[in-house]
Copies of this chain bind each other. A is one copy, B any other.
Amino acid sequence: MSEKLYHGAAYYPELWTEDVIEQDIKLMLETGINVVRIGEFAWSTMEPIEDQINLSFFKVIVNKLYEHGIETIFCTPTPTPPIWFTYKHPERMYVDRDGRTMGHGSRQHACTNNHYFRERAAIITEHIVQTLGNHPGIIGWQIDNEFKCHVSECMCETCKSLWHEWLKNRYKTIENLNEAWGTHIWSEYYHHFEQVPQPGPAPFLHNSSLNTMYKIFSMEKIAEFSDQQAEVIRTYSSAPITHNSSIAFSVDNERLFKNLDFASFDTYASIENFSAYLINCDLWRNFKKGKEFWIMETSTSFAASLESCASPHPNGYLKAEAAAAYALGAEGFCYWLWRQQRTGCEQPHSSVISAWGKPTVGYKNVIEVEHMRKEFEPIILSTKPVQADLAITYSDRAKVFLATEPHKGLNHRGLVTNYYERILSMGIHRDVIPEGASFEGYKVVLTPFIHFLSDDYLIRGKHFVENGGIWIVGPLTGGRTEEHTIHTDRALGELEKLAGVKVLFTYPMDQSGTIGSAFGCSAPLGLWSTVFEYSEEHSVGTITEGLSAGKSFLTEHSLGKGKIVMLGAMPIGREGDVLLKRMIDHYSILAEVNQRTDVTPGTIVAPRENDHSIIWFMINMDGNGGSVTIPFKGYDIKNKIEIESGKLEIGPFECKMVEFQK
Contact = CB atoms under 8 A, between A and B. Distances in A.
A205 interface: yes
Given A302-B507, A508-B311, A547-B312, A108 B344 contact: no
A414 interface: no
B507 A347 contact: no
A188 B105 CA distance: 6
Given A14-B184, A181-B343, A182-B344, A203 B107 contact: yes
A77 interface: yes
B209 A485 contact: no
Interface in A179-231: 181-191, 195, 197-210
A405 B348 contact: yes
Contacts of A208: 306, 343-345, 347
B491 A44 contact: no
B185 A311 contact: no
Contact of A311 (B80, B198, B510): B510
A127 to B, nearest CB: 15
A634 to B, nearest CB: 35
Interface string A50-62: 0000000000000
A184 to B, nearest CB: 5
A301 B200 contact: no
A560 interface: no
In the complex this chain forms, how many copies of it are found? 3
A581 interface: no
A342 B311 contact: no
A89 to B, nearest CB: 12
A15 interface: yes
A248 to B, nearest CB: 14
Contact of A186 (B107, B312, B487, B513): B107
B312 A355 contact: no
Interface in A316-373: 340-345, 347-348, 350, 354-361, 363
B207 A105 contact: yes
Nearest to A405: B306
Contacts of A340: 486
B204 A43 contact: no
A94 B203 CA distance: 8
Interface residues of A, number: 119
Nearest to A514: B312
Interface in A45-102: 45, 48-49, 77, 79-84, 87, 94, 96, 98-102
Contacts of A305: 204-205
A43 to B, nearest CB: 5
Interface in A159-187: 181-187
A12 B201 CA distance: 26
Contacts of A358: 491, 504-505
A202 B195 CA distance: 29
B203 A150 contact: yes
B341 A82 contact: no
A511 interface: yes
A239 B642 CA distance: 94
Contacts of A94: 203
Given A206-B105, A311-B512, A491 B189 contact: no
Interface in A358-412: 358-361, 363, 404-408
24 contacts: A12-B185, A41-B187, A42-B184, A44-B183, A45-B189, A80-B188, A83-B189, A102-B203, A105-B202, A105-B210, A108-B204, A109-B202, A150-B204, A206-B345, A208-B306, A302-B508, A309-B407, A310-B508, A311-B512, A343-B483, A343-B484, A348-B407, A356-B489, A360-B507
Interface of A: 12, 14-15, 20, 41-45, 48-49, 77, 79-84, 87, 94, 96, 98-109, 150-151, 181-191, 195, 197-210, 301-302, 304-312, 314-315, 340-345, 347-348, 350, 354-361, 363, 404-408, 483-491, 504-508, 510-513, 528, 531, 547-548
